[in-house]
Amino acid sequence: MARELKSLKKRQQSRKKSSGGRSRALPVMVAVVVILLAISTLIFFVYEKKYAPTRTLADKTGYFGVSGDDVALFLNDEQAMDEESSPVKAKLINGGVFIPYEWVMSELNRRYYWAKDVNQIFYTLPRETVKYGLGDKLEDGSTAFIRIGDSTEDLYLNIKFIAKYTDIRYECFTDDSNKRVFISNNLDAYKQATVTKKESVRLLGGIKSEVLTTLQAGNKVKILENLDKWCKVETEDGYIGWMRNSRITDISDVTPESDFVAPEYTHIGRTDGSRVVLGFHQITLTDANKYLEDITSDATGMNVVAPTWFILTGDDGTFKCFWTQDYVDKAHAKGYQVWATVNNFDGGDVDESVFLTSSVLRENLINNLVSTALAGGIDGLNIDFELIPKKLGRDYVQFMRELGVACRNAGIILSADCYVPYSYNSYYDIEQLGANIDYVIIMCYDEHYAGGEAGSVSSIGYLNHALTETLEMMDSDRVIIAVPFYTRIWSIDASGNTTSDAMGIKDASNWIEKNGVELSWNSEIGQNYGERQNGDILQKIWMEDEKSMKLKMDIIKESKVGGVAAWKLGQEPDGFWSILDLNSAS
């Protein structure tokens, strides 16, 4: 019995020893597991922080800058911004996308004209001007335009209305809260690729950039920019962002196609194929017509005469007319076309805003000019509207468009006199004039004018600038360069006050000879320069003469423009017209 008790005691002691070892090992194991978990968590955190792509969605409202029924505008893969770098906003109205009129005029098509007096949009085609009023519908029943205020800033054109007359392609995404429309007027080829597997398109290049949209295998993307590991793309669902190059394949060139058929604005020119050599004939009373033969007796090579017959006298577009049939008949007998000039400055102070902004008055003036030209056998009309203010630029251009239709339908040549193009007079819109009328005459004179600083009336640099700028805006064969048959004698007193007198080349030559003024050639200006001291007055002259005119004509001939004109007949020395002859064999 004692032996059994002793054996039992040993077994109990053994169990105690065994149990004590296990109890000490368990905390160690737990600690190890905790440490391993902590290390794993830390590794996962570091990986996620540094290496794992973020799944955070971008703030699309902030990205597009629009909400509600406003629509973000994209043109040629870039979002349209205003002068303050804020998004330009189109509008979703009754399921249609309407684009700001001013943005359309600036970026897509300047031919639309808001006729405020009749609450209509005009669009001038080669043979007619189509008109859309408030509420007027397009072919599909949608409204052509909407107006939500009084200014053109509150005018919006239906994108379908724009596409009707403009070579654009567009896609609208208006089914979600961030509405947007993508417009393209670019037909250049671009790169397209196929997505190989599910991939996020991000705000910026880098896996930590926020996600704009997620693509699936087989989706197409347009590649806008390509870096080593990332490319900027435009997606089929209307986002522009960045994705990894490793997720695209099958890169190919795609050339956009257009089924837009642009209307053909035909132009009337000289039927014998010769270039225009035009002389302006200033006429301020009917009796002056009788001197045509005398004033053109030495006009070698001239084939167009432009008498200043129509003088605007009323704000409503009424004009005084000095036309005579005898003049037309004599001009035709001498082989001249007659382009009657209409000006807005010889008849006194005329407020052009009255007739230019009135649809009715514009039409009346056009009808009166064309009917007079037709009745008198006049070959062309030449519009010389000077000092038109910038605020009337669009109205002036629309007048010329509408007059262009009337002249085209009547077979009358239409030209307009324009200043040498600079940014400050760009509202004369030579590009639009060139498309809608037959000739644009660039007046390469009064580079320095009465009331301004002393200088050349027409330097060679001024003429070169005129050619360079104009030929970028219209076809060369319908550009006419007008040169001066006059110069200015500048007088500067001791106080620096400057005045000038315009003087024809013939009279200026006599003045130089009479006063013994010595001339020296200025190659930079392309003219002879002279000066004299007359008491306290310093007199200066930049002389237009045979040498300077030949230099101008060499450039004009080389440029292949449609012609040359001169202001004005009667101011030139004998034999001077032979320099301007563009059509002789010599």
Reported as a single tens digit per residue, the pLDDT across 289-323 is 999 999 999 999 999 999 999 999 999 999 999 99
> Could you tell me which residues are beta bridge partners of residue 486?
504
274: three-class secondary structure by DSSP: coil
**Between 41 and 254, the higher pLDDT residue:** 254
For residue 46, pLDDT beyond 60: no
Instruction: Give the pLDDT band (50/70/90) at residue 556.
Output: very high
H/E element, 397: helix 393-410
Q: Which residue has the tokens 């760009």?
A: 426
Q: Is 199 exposed, middle or buried (0-12, 13-18, 19+ CB in 10 A)?
A: buried
Residue spans of beta strands (DSSP E) within 344-485 = 380-384, 413-419, 439-443, 479-484
Within 8 A by CB and 6+ apart from 307, the residues are 281, 283, 289, 292, 322, 323, 327, 338, 340, 341
Output the pLDDT for position 544: 98
- Of the CA atoms within 13 Å of residue 67, those in its CB half-sphere come to 5
Output the pLDDT for position 32: 67
CATH number of 274-443: 3.40.50.620, 3.40.640.10, 3.40.50.2300, 3.20.20.80?
Answer: 3.20.20.80
Tally Cβ neighbours within 10 Å of residue 49.
Answer: 10
pTM reported for the whole predicted model: 0.90
Instruction: Give the pLDDT band (50/70/90) at residue 150.
Output: confident
d(CA 338, CA 377): 9
Average of per-residue pLDDT across 565-579:
97
Within 8 A by CB and 6+ apart from 229, the residues are 205, 244, 245, 246
Q: Out of 37-41, 197-201, 525-529, which region has the weakest mean confidence (pLDDT)?
A: 37-41
Average of per-residue pLDDT across 164-190:
97
Output the pLDDT for position 2: 52
Contact 443, 416 (CB under 8 A): no
**Between 511 and 35, the higher pLDDT residue:** 511
For residue 31, pLDDT beyond 80: no
Output the pLDDT for position 446: 97
The answer to whether domain 190-254 and domain 274-443 are alike in fold is: no
Reported as a single tens digit per residue, the pLDDT across 470-480 is 999 999 999 99
Buried b (16+ CB within 10 A) or exposed e, 255-273: eeeeeeeeeebebbbbeee
- CA 434, 467, 103: angle at the middle one, nearest 5? 45
> Could you tell me which residues are beta bridge partners of residue 55?
none
Buried b (16+ CB within 10 A) or exposed e, 163-194: bebbebbbebbbeeebbbbbbbbeeeebbbbe
Residue range 190-254 forms a domain whose CATH class is mainly beta
Q: What is the domain partition of the chain in residue ranges? A: 62-184, 190-254, 274-443, 444-562
Contact 277, 302 (CB under 8 A): yes
Q: Before 568, cis peptide (omega within 30)?
A: yes
> Could you tell me which residues are beta bridge partners of residue 153?
none
d(CA 193, CA 218): 9
- CA 144, 149, 150: angle at the middle one, nearest 5? 100
Tally Cβ neighbours within 10 Å of residue 88.
Answer: 21
For residue 18, pLDDT beyond 70: no
d(CA 158, CA 166): 12
d(CA 61, CA 210): 13
Within 8 A by CB and 6+ apart from 222, the residues are 77, 190, 191, 192, 233, 234, 254
